[in-house]
Chains A and B, each alone.
Chain A
Amino acid sequence: MRAPLSWIRELTPVEADPLAIAEALDRLGLEVEELDAPGREINGVKAAKALDVRKHPDADKLQLVDVDFGSGTTTVVCGAPNVVTGMVMPYAPSGATLPGGFTLERRKIRGVVSDGMLCSPKELGLGDDHSGILGLDPDTELGTDIRDILGLNDVVFDLAITPNRPDAMSIVGVARDLAAHFGLPLNVPEPVVHESGAPTASDITVVVDDGERCPRFTARRVAVTMGDSPAWMVRRLTLAGMRPISNVVDVTNYVLLERGQPLHAFDLDRLPGRGIVVRLAEAGEKMTTLDGVERTLTAEDLLVCGADRRPQAIAGIMGGAEAEVHDGTKEILLEAAYFQPMGISRSSKRLGLRSESSARFERGVDPNGVLAGSARAAELLQQVASGRVAPDPIDQYPVPVVPARISVRTARVEAVLGLELGAARVKDALRPLAIGIEGDAEDFVAIAPTFRPDLSREIDIVEEVARRVGLNEIPRTLPHTTGAGGGGLTVRQRERRLIADVLVGAGAAEALTVPLIAPADLERFGLPLDATVEVTNALRAEEPLLRPAILPGLLKAAGFNAGQALVDLTLFELGHVFAAPPKRQLLPDERDHLALLLTGTVLRSPIEPDRPVDVYDAVDVLEALAEALELVDLRLVAGPAPGFDAARAAVITVDGTAIGHVGALAPSVPDAFGVPAGAVAFELDIDGLLHGKRRDRTFHSLSRFPASNIDLAFVLEDTVPAADVEQTLRTTLGDVLEAVRAFDEFRSDSLGARRRSLAIALRLRAADHTLTDVEIGELRQSAIDAVTRAHRAELRG
């Protein structure tokens, strides 16, 4: 909403400077997005009169114009067709500046020196009209600064009006708040309409089929003479951001801006049957709106039709071409109505069609201001379109809207705000906003004007008091939060932080990828699409799925980096993934996942050789996670892992439950995402980790007796995991086995195909004595026996 200061001042005598007014508007909640001074850049342009107009000697389309600019005369070259002798025009001499900071200089045009230029409306920043030079009132004193003549020294407040304040989408509404703030009167004059001729109803009918959607409809017949609007109206509309069209249309726009009441003017001669029917559309009914678009309607759209019930306008949103006013219009039917806000909002949203009119109706115009808006338009039509207004406008308003009566407790106002005010101050705060007060007590009744549909409850009145008092005048305090048992993170929240910290400790950088993904990306990764969740209106239509896994998105991020020649990456992400809802649930199965991706080379040189990332880099991080969370049983077991290379991947289990996968990505995957071959990764379910059984933290005293280290090497089938052998050793040897670790692996022809040798180091130590050689021998033998029995292994000699 653009509110020119001069227009506001017409309604309330606010003298404060524009910055102070802007500050006040902010404090009132009418936030100033921009303080615009459109004439700021114009300097030195003055009124001048054409003394003589003659042809340019060397150019058909140019003329030479002798001008009198008050303090002298000169000659300018001009290409506009409309300049005639005697015309008064804006003249920009050399040295003058125009919008855009453009400064004029004397220059030759086709051999003739032009001493500055004459200006079109567009050149002065007044709209788009560049068809000719702007004509000024012939009585204008020559030499007068154009900014004074056109009001270009005006200031415009560009306001962001919140949806609860339809009243403030009008100059009157803005002026009312300012008047209250500065303690000034608000003067909105009653329109003066001179009615003549036969009453409107004498040959006009109005039928409202749907009184719920259209609680009030008024119509007024006005005979008009079409033409351009006067300069002052053009100027105001332009400053307020509207394009002047014709005097009749401009009047409807002017009243919309001034009063917030949208109006529509139908050409009465083109309105079939000289009558109006307001009805709901038929499903599938079509109508072409003024913008030339054919709209398909539903049974929820409200139409304003001619007497033949054919649509002439989508009520409150946009008119049609058939009965539009045009150059030859002689008589109009002026519609002023109140439409139910929700209905307008729904239609406007569904049709994707918003207008100045719908923006006001959907928030709620004043049902009791409809006729005053119509009268104001009639008054202006008299002035600018030689309007002759028929008496007795038709007013279909069967159930008048009555002002809301709101019980207000002063104590409640004070309790919500945390400010002692007293009833008198509360009431004084409300009165200038046209809120009526009934009752002398602490508790009273506030009567909300019908232009404030946002006021219906006590809390709404509290907000008005807060606005008037000033939010920053309320003393600042802190609540006593102790009653809620103190702040803190839950165990789960702390452990999730720990998980991220482990990844950071392992050298990974956290990424945040967009959880919307393309089906093609999932297919490239080898994930099925059947259990995915789809969004219906993704702006990037190719990315309509909610990610079922993090890795495809991380691969895309790695691909983005590869595009910047950044290929050696360790990325992780912790976030939600989505799967189709479980039975009888509406919302998707939404889980926390953790994914890690390593690509490229592990840079160790020159201390160690560089090497490509390998699966054990990912396994390292898993082990660090198990260690940090003190998990008893995190294991890697064979099993299918979509997206991974079956021979170089494993299923991650915690306490026997699968929670994710780790390994090298399937050979086709890195390339499909533009990532170097050999990438390794894991992805797992966070809750699977967090729900895992934890180590007993009870302390056992540390044995000071000597340790005995023994190494054993077994020949095993390839399919026997080292972890299983270690587990067998732990189970067999019990507490005396202090540490166990596989330290060598090799394959050879002599061992046989699909067999390998696994060397394992054991550290044995008793809690209460030094192990004897005999004991160590027995332990060694039982270890060998257990492993050979359980894993069909042979001791390697």
Chain B
Amino acid sequence: MPADPSAELDLDAARAAVAGAGSLDELDGVRRALTGKSSAAARVKQSIKELPADQKPIVGKAVSEFTAAVAEAIDARRGELAPAGSDEPPLDLTLGGHGRARGHLHLVTQCQRELEDVFVSLGYKVEEGPEVEDDWHNFQALNFPPGHPARAMQDTIYVNLGEPEQVLLRTHTSPVQIRVMETQKPPIYSVMPGRTYRNETLDARHSPVFHQIEGLAVDRGITFGDLAGTLEAFTSAYFGKKLKSRLIPSYFPFTEPSAEFAITCVFCDGAGCRVCSKTGWIELGGCGMVDPNVFEAVGIDPEEFTGFAFGFGLERMPMLRYGVEPIKTFFDNDIRFLTRY
């Protein structure tokens, strides 16, 4: 059995040689002497192929350990020599980059996407419709006949087209429900986000423009219990924790039974605080079972199908979650707000 050729690799001597290098140039000479083509290490490596099979891995490992240790020592020594020896001043990486900043989606868009994604995961599609609507889709088909008192609750902006008050800026996203049911057959599971309008001046508490998201389910056997369960599922998904939700009877022409839904106050977990007026509850929106008159308006048989619908303001969600106020903040487009989220 031949002698172990790696025995001639003296790591201590190598380290001493590295430590003795006084400049980067000298260090490069040492590096070549220790690991270059005519170095002892190279020779040993060259000899491996002539060794018996059982020796090969042992010697190979010894060589690679030696060269790695030398490289490490050289790197360390280079670090010691570099500052003094280099002409380049150190770079201050904390100056920041070229300034190519990433932009921002508006907080309302972020919220809209989150909610869309929650509902998509629950099996819903996303539907849209025009912002300028006719009386049929915004009111009549939704069971607001002309002169209906509930119309007065929606400060409508009318558009100077068609007959007087025939064309308007949609006061809610509910007309999209009608458009969906006019063009699709059940089963329907859809959410409908979008801009809506009311005749109010932009000030701290009011905005002529805001966003809503509407939900609609039409299928055989849909129950009020399905509505309540769906609302609970999505509020928990959006707010990221198990929230209690409660329904209190209300009135909307296009649903019956109708309700307003509220969730446990996200600020005080229902203990009662300023945000929830000490009630422990925060009202989010309205909901109910699709009124049979609405089904008849769109040609769906209310005996065969039932459905539920719900809707709420999109701005309200980030207002609750992050404390954004007043609502005007969303539409001033102050760059400090836009780039905050």
Contact = CB atoms under 8 A, between A and B. Distances in A.
Given A471-B247, A477-B229, A586-B161, A487 B125 contact: yes
Interface in B89-105: 95-105
Contacts of B291: 459
A602 to B, nearest CB: 7
Given A349-B152, A512-B333, A590-B130, A28 B120 contact: no
Interface in A453-470: 457, 459-460, 462-463, 466-467
B59 interface: no
A478 B147 contact: no
B58 interface: no
B158 A536 contact: yes
Contacts of B122: 478, 481, 487
Kindly name the residue among A476, A506, A569, A590 whose own CB sees the greatest number of chain B CB atoms within 10 A. A476
Interface string B101-134: 1111110110001001001111111100011111
B104 A504 contact: yes
A466 B288 CA distance: 11
Contact of B124 (A476, A487, A493): A487
Nearest to A482: B123
A461 to B, nearest CB: 10
A239 interface: no
B189 A479 contact: yes
Interface of B: 95-106, 108-109, 113, 116, 119-126, 130-134, 147-150, 152-153, 157-162, 164, 166-167, 169, 187-189, 195, 199-202, 207-209, 217, 219, 221-226, 228-230, 232-233, 246-251, 256-260, 289, 291-292, 306, 330-336, 338-339
A604 B335 contact: no
B224 A471 contact: yes
Interface in A572-603: 572, 575-576, 578, 581, 586-588, 590, 602-603
Main secondary structure of the interface of B (DSSP, over half): mixed
A321 to B, nearest CB: 27
Nearest to A581: B161
B187 A484 contact: yes
A481 B123 contact: yes
A418 B225 contact: yes
A607 interface: yes
B333 A560 contact: yes
Contacts of A510: 103-106, 109, 338
Contacts of B217: 479, 481
B99 A479 contact: no
Given A28-B249, A540-B201, A417 B223 contact: yes
A52 interface: no
4 tightest A-B CB contacts, nearest first = A418-B223, A29-B249, A481-B123, A418-B225
B99 to A, nearest CB: 5
Contact of B330 (A418, A486, A487, A512): A512
Given A415-B306, A476-B229, 18 more contacts: A415-B221, A472-B228, A489-B120, A489-B125, A500-B105, A505-B103, A514-B208, A515-B209, A516-B157, A534-B160, A536-B158, A537-B157, A538-B199, A539-B208, A540-B202, A569-B335, A578-B132, A605-B99
A388 interface: no
Interface in A25-60: 26-29, 31
Interface stretch (A110-118, A161-169, A305-313): A161-169
Contacts of A164: 251
Contacts of B100: 507
Contacts of B102: 504-505, 507
Interface string A360-382: 00110000000000000000000
Contacts of B334: 560-561, 564, 566
A655 B125 CA distance: 31
A31 B157 contact: no
B249 A466 contact: yes
Interface of A: 26-29, 31, 162-165, 341-342, 345-346, 349, 362-363, 415-419, 457, 459-460, 462-463, 466-467, 471-472, 474-484, 486-490, 493, 497, 500, 503-516, 533-540, 546, 557, 560-561, 564, 566, 569-572, 575-576, 578, 581, 586-588, 590, 602-608
A569 B104 CA distance: 12
Contact of A604 (B98, B120, B223): B98
A514 B202 contact: yes
A114 to B, nearest CB: 38
Contacts of A504: 102-105
A476 B234 CA distance: 13
Contacts of B221: 415
B120 A487 contact: yes
A537 B103 contact: no
12 contacts: A31-B260, A457-B292, A459-B289, A459-B291, A472-B246, A486-B123, A504-B104, A512-B106, A512-B331, A538-B199, A557-B333, A587-B132
Contacts of A505: 102-103
A418 B217 CA distance: 15
A514 B209 contact: yes
Contact of A417 (B225, B330, B335): B225
Given A533-B132, A586-B166, A511 B333 contact: yes
Given A471-B257, A586-B161, A561 B333 contact: yes
A612 to B, nearest CB: 14
Contact of B132 (A478, A497, A588): A588
B149 A345 contact: yes
A467 B249 contact: yes
A602 B200 contact: no
Contacts of B257: 416-417, 459, 462-463, 466-467, 471
Contacts of A606: 95
Contact of A533 (B159, B201, B229, B306): B159
Nearest to A460: B256
A152 B247 CA distance: 33
Contacts of A479: 189, 217, 219, 222, 226, 230
Given A481-B122, A533-B132, A509 B104 contact: yes
A572 B141 CA distance: 36
A477 B147 CA distance: 37
Kindly name the residue among A341, A346, A478, A560 whose own CB sees the greatest number of chain B CB atoms within 10 A. A478
A534 B225 contact: no
A165 B250 CA distance: 10
A429 to B, nearest CB: 13
A653 to B, nearest CB: 26
A516 B197 CA distance: 10
A174 to B, nearest CB: 14
Contacts of B119: 487
B274 to A, nearest CB: 15
Contacts of A472: 228, 246-247
A516 B331 CA distance: 12
Nearest to A349: B152
B292 A535 contact: no
A255 to B, nearest CB: 22
Contacts of B233: 478
A487 to B, nearest CB: 4
B280 to A, nearest CB: 11
Nearest to B307: A479
A26 B279 CA distance: 12
A561 to B, nearest CB: 5
Contacts of A571: 333, 335, 338
B134 to A, nearest CB: 6
Given A513-B333, A586-B134, A474 B224 contact: yes
B159 A588 contact: yes
B158 A481 contact: no
A566 B335 contact: yes
Contacts of B97: 607
Contact of A588 (B123, B158, B161): B161
A539 B164 CA distance: 17
A162 B251 contact: yes
A546 B159 CA distance: 9
Contact of B159 (A460, A466, A509, A534): A534
